[in-house]
Amino acid sequence: MSGAYERRLLTRDRGTGVLQKLWQIPWSFVLLLCAVAAVGYVALYSAGGGAEPYATKHALRFGFGLVLMVSIGLVDIRVIARFAWVGYAGGIALLVLVLLHGNVGKGAQRWIDIGPLQLQPSELMKIMLVLGLAAWFQRASWERMGNILFLVPPALMVLLPVGLILKQPNLGTALITGMVGAGVFFAAGVRWWKFAIIAAGVAVAAPIAYDHLHDYQRARITTFLDPESDPLGAGYNIIQSKIALGSGGLWGKGFLQGTQGHLNFLPEKQTDFIFTMIAEEFGLVGALSVLGLLALVVVFCFAVALRCRHQFGRLLAAGLGTNFFLYVFVNVAMVTGSIPVGGVPLPLISHGGSAMLTTMLGFGLLLSVFVHRDAEFGPARD
């Protein structure tokens, strides 16, 4: 889009005031997010045995994130598109910074300190990647999408952060980042047979990649296949998780009555295994209710993508929806033993500042897409 054309579009729409945009925000979706965060507060209250040390921080982070989300939702989507490349470059810079000067925790170098905040750049990078890819594909014609050379730069845009995240090492987030990128490629109209070729290449490379995994990563795969092989070591987490899930039954043991969680058999109950704690205390009914709320969030994301008239907004909403879905799917599949255990939080529910901040940032972008779904961008590139 030429700068002059873009400025004319922005000037024409400048009359749309803040109050009018606030009225256009889907407040039912905001209430849905509040309901999910409230579930997180209740679960973290139980995990900590009171409001401290987890639940209060969770509420404060969500409150800050709510203000951030609505503020971003009021920003014109074309302004966001203009600075999408800056966001992507900033995300890459943070990933490089964390490798050079990041804090080491649990054998991985994944965090950097920014004032009082400890930020995990890999979480932020998934949002910035979606922005960058949406900016690349926003005005590409169908014919151009068939040109393999046109797809090389965005493919490198995906591989670069994936490689940097693998160096931390953080295999789970690296895989999710790659799948988020693939989701945007698919939404942009990349032919299916190209995905089939990539999938075949991954299958061929998998045995080689396995030989280069860290010992703890290989142990996770071995434990996934046979948890009983090391019940007090690598298999401990998933065994205790399955015990907690099964003991909850249909209706659960009751709030604050979960034995696996409160007797400290359940590991990382405030982060990775928070869903297990919910299932133990509120049973299958409670667990399915939470999954229902999370499913509604995903449905809204893709509904916004379908309603949006411009390609940038469609791809941005689809990418954000894919990211949220993958985090929910991977976390729940992990704690139920369906996939190997990895450090993936349950969004809006697990304890963690970086995950909350980036989730609300992403939803702010989603609100901007919704409010400006009829905005006019330039014509498609040939």
Q: Is 250 part of any domain? A: yes
Q: What is the pLDDT of residue 74?
A: 93
Mean pLDDT computed over every residue of the chain: 85
Q: What is the pLDDT of residue 160?
A: 95
Whether residue 1 is predicted with pLDDT greater than 50 in this model: the reply is no
Q: Residue 130 contacts by C-beta under 8 Å, 6 or more apart in sequence?
A: 180, 184, 315, 316, 319, 320, 323, 362
C-alpha–C-alpha distance, residues 41 and 304, integer Å: 27
Question: What is the tens place of the pLDDT at every residue in 189-224?
Answer: 888 877 778 778 777 777 776 666 666 667 667 666
Q: Is 380 part of any domain? A: no
DSSP character at residue 164? H
Number of domains in the chain: 1
Q: Is 377 part of any domain? A: no
Q: Is 378 part of any domain? A: no
Q: Is 382 part of any domain? A: no
Q: Is 379 part of any domain? A: no
Q: Is 90 part of any domain? A: yes
User: What percent of the chain has pLDDT above 90?
Assistant: 50
Q: Choose the weakest-confidence range: 67-81, 85-99, 145-159.
A: 145-159
Q: Is 38 part of any domain? A: yes
The parent domain of residue 307 ranges over: 3-371
Angle formed by the axes of helices 171-188 and 148-166, to 10°?
160
